[in-house]
Structure 1
Amino acid sequence: MPLRKSSLKATLNRILALPGLLALAACGSEPGPASEVTAKPILLEVASDNGAVEGWLFGTIHALPDGVSWRTPALKKAIKDADLLVVEVANLDEGSELTDIFVRLAFDEPTGPLADRIDPALRPQYEVLLTKAKVRSDHFDAMESWAAALTLAQVVQVAKTENGVDRALIRDFKGRDIIEIEGGEKQLRIFDALPEQDQRDLLDAVIAETRDYDDDMGRLARIWSEGNAKELAKLTREGILADPELYEALLAGRNRAWTAQLENLFSTDSRPLVAVGAGHMFGPDGLPAMLEASGYTVRRVQ
């Protein structure tokens, strides 16, 4: 039978990896490493025009395999020196609450069988995903196209959201202020507000990307761990973000909204550690470029 609201909680809790889809062009599947991996992800310092450090930008990844050590000395110092933490979604451990929001939005306006909404050339890969998910061909028909896209992205997700950097940082800042710059419902409404054709473009892009996972299983996690700015920047123009409308909705437009909020925070006496998806850090539409245009100095310290 098609997926119903009553069964969604039991089958779709892994939708909490959603921010990983928003952060970069790939969802970031990765097998568990055989041994401990020491990561050195990108950390940026934000200073005012007089040279005073106002805070830090840290590009995160929302799902990782086991055994990745990413708390470097430089990051530990930033965590210690920061007065507050800024994240995209603060209640990542509230799986039931986020799933309820997803359910409320995902079933409003389905537009027929999902297979009919997919590029015919991608239908064989869609069948592969249905097999991996162990569900019938009509399982996702009751869902809107954007919701089906996010759900299908989780079918090949091997990295664990419980290892996500955002979650760990929220625990690190227990007892200190944590500010949610966007929130789970607002993130999901970005997708829900997309025109149907853009939703179908998203669906096609997600399905197309899954064809490459077996060949390049750890690309996102690997280049994030290496702090490879050049390769991370490339990801912000690939996959779902290669589509101009999706790029604007999922990256550039959100960065503009966030920059206005961050300018207010950086102007206070408190110094925030801003930990958002690494894809938000690159190019003329990235947070560093937008903050520099507002008069701040942003430099890489790791």
Structure 2
Amino acid sequence: MYLQLIGTNVRLLGSMHLFPASSPRMPDWVSQAFDWSETLVFESDALAILPFLKRESGTSLEHDLPVDVWRRLDPSWPSAGPLAPLSELRPWAALMVAPTLCQRVVEGVEPRMLREAAAQSKPHRYLETGAEVAASLESIPLATVSTGLELLLADLTEPQRTLDHMQEAWLRRDTEAVYRIAAQSPMFSLPGIRSALLDGRNRAWAPHIRRALGSQERTLVVVGALHLAGEGSLVECLGHPVEPVSLGG
């Protein structure tokens, strides 16, 4: 979960983008990683994705989804803000946002680190642009989006339950357990979702990280914990030996 790329000044931190509201505390090992770093590297700027959430003028999202899915989803959707109205969203945007409407959450690692970095004038950069994130998520087939939303609506308690269990494993720094818990989520097993969220992005990020391996600057790369486990993980894509960082290290 917190890994040293051996022989370099680069470390990887597996983050949780959102914390359950019942467990909002940042663990000591994450704070330690931030303090060690001289520069930070994150996946992407969360605000940079906002312009890509809405579909181009034309048909409503209603026409892309099964009738029952639309009838259940639309009344519960936020009526204001960048995610409204539901009819104007791209299918993948609805799929990514819908589970969070079933969760009680607070902000996770990245926004907290970004605020502290600004306070300390610590530099940061990103591995991908908003356009690149959107292009990856656009690859999720429409049929998969529909199935994913149907599975969500069949058990609205699953997103919170999965997040709670993932957080428990994450706090123990158990990367494999975090991955196993996520893999049991119905959406995660659908074709196209893992590829869009993890595999393709891991491959795209690896060259950017490799370019930092010769730097003398202590660089902390912060990515979602799921990127560090499973076949095709970021660690595998980097092809560089790693070792866990001990507390106090």
Whether TM exceeds 0.5 here: the answer is yes
CA distance in 2, matches of 1:262, 1:192: 24
TM-score normalized with structure 2 length: 0.78
Q: Structure 1 CA distance, aligned partners of 2:140 and 2:159?
A: 26
Pick the aligned partner of 1:171 from 115, 122, 135.
Answer: 115
Match of 2:65 in 1: 117
Letter in structure 2 aligned against 1:58: L
1:199 aligns with 2:158: no
Per the alignment, do residues 255 and 178 of structure 1 end up closer, same or farther by CA in structure 2, a change over 3 Å counting?
same
Instruction: Write the distance in 2 (CA, Å) between the matches of 1:66 and 1:183.
Output: 32
Tell me what 1:237 maps to: 183
Residue identity matched to 1:113 = E
- Which residue matches 2:3? 44
* SS of residue paired to 1:56: strand
Mapped pair 1:63 → 2:7 = no
CA RMSD of aligned residues (A): 3.1
Map of 1:6 onto structure 2: none
Could you say if the C-alpha distance between residues 270 and 283 of structure 1 is closer, same or farther in structure 2, counting changes exceeding 3 Å?
Answer: same
Once the two structures are superposed, what CA deviation does each residue of 1:1-54 show, in whole Å capped at 9, x if it has no partner? xxxxxxxxxxxxxxxxxxxxxxxxxxxxxxxxxxxxxxxxx311111xxxx243
**Cα contact 2:4–2:10 (8 A) shared by 1:** yes
2:43 aligns with 88
Q: CA separation of 1:171/1:260 partners in 2, compared to 1, >3 Å: closer, same or farther? A: same
Q: For 1:123-272, list aligned pairs within 5 A.
A: 123=69, 127=72, 129-130=73-74, 132-133=76-77, 140-160=86-106, 163-174=107-118, 175-208=121-154, 210-213=156-159, 218-238=164-184, 239-272=186-219
1:242 and 1:271 mapped to 2: Cα distance? 36
Partner of 2:53: 102
Which stretches in structure 1 are left out of the alignment for 5+ residues? 1-41
- What SS does the aligned partner of 2:179 have? helix
Counterpart in the other structure of 2:82: none
CA distance, structure 1, for counterparts of residue 113 and residue 163 of structure 2: 26
Given residue 11 of structure 2, which amino acid in structure 1 is its aligned partner?
W
Q: Distance in 2 between matches of 1:213 and 1:197?
A: 20
Measured in 1, the distance between the counterparts of 2:74 and 2:60 equals 19
The letter of the residue matching 1:265 is A
Quick one: distance in 2 between partners of 1:134 and 1:271?
41
In structure 1, what residue type is equivalent to 2:232? D
Q: SS at the partner of 1:173?
A: helix
CA change 1:86–1:243 in 2 (3 A) is same
TM-fit CA distance, 1:119: 8.5
2:245 aligns to what? 301
Q: Label 1:183 to 1:206 Cα distance change in 2 as closer, same or farther (>3 A).
A: farther
Q: Give me the TM-score of the superposition, normalised by structure 1.
A: 0.66
Q: Retained in 2: the 8 A contact 1:153–1:207?
A: no
Tell me the equivalent position of 1:283.
Answer: 230
1:86, CA displacement in angstroms? Answer: 0.6
**Could you say what secondary structure the match of 1:176 adopts?**
coil
For the residue of structure 1 that corresponds to 2:232, the secondary structure is coil
Query: 2: distance between equivalents of 1:257 and 1:282?
Result: 16
- Cα gap change, 1:68 to 1:142, in 2 (>3 Å): closer
Distance 1:252 1:209 in 2: 27
Q: Per-residue deviation at 1:209?
A: 5.7
Structure 1 residues 209, 250: closer, same or farther in 2, change over 3 A? Answer: farther
Gaps of at least 5 residues in structure 2 are 80-84
Structure 1 residues 166-175 or 228-237, which shifts more?
228-237
Identical aligned residues as a percent: 19
Separation in 2, partners of 1:267, 1:208: 49
Q: Deviations over 1:48-83 (max 9, x none)?
A: xxxx243111111111226633241x4444323322
Mapped contact 2:61–2:91 kept (Cα < 8 A): no
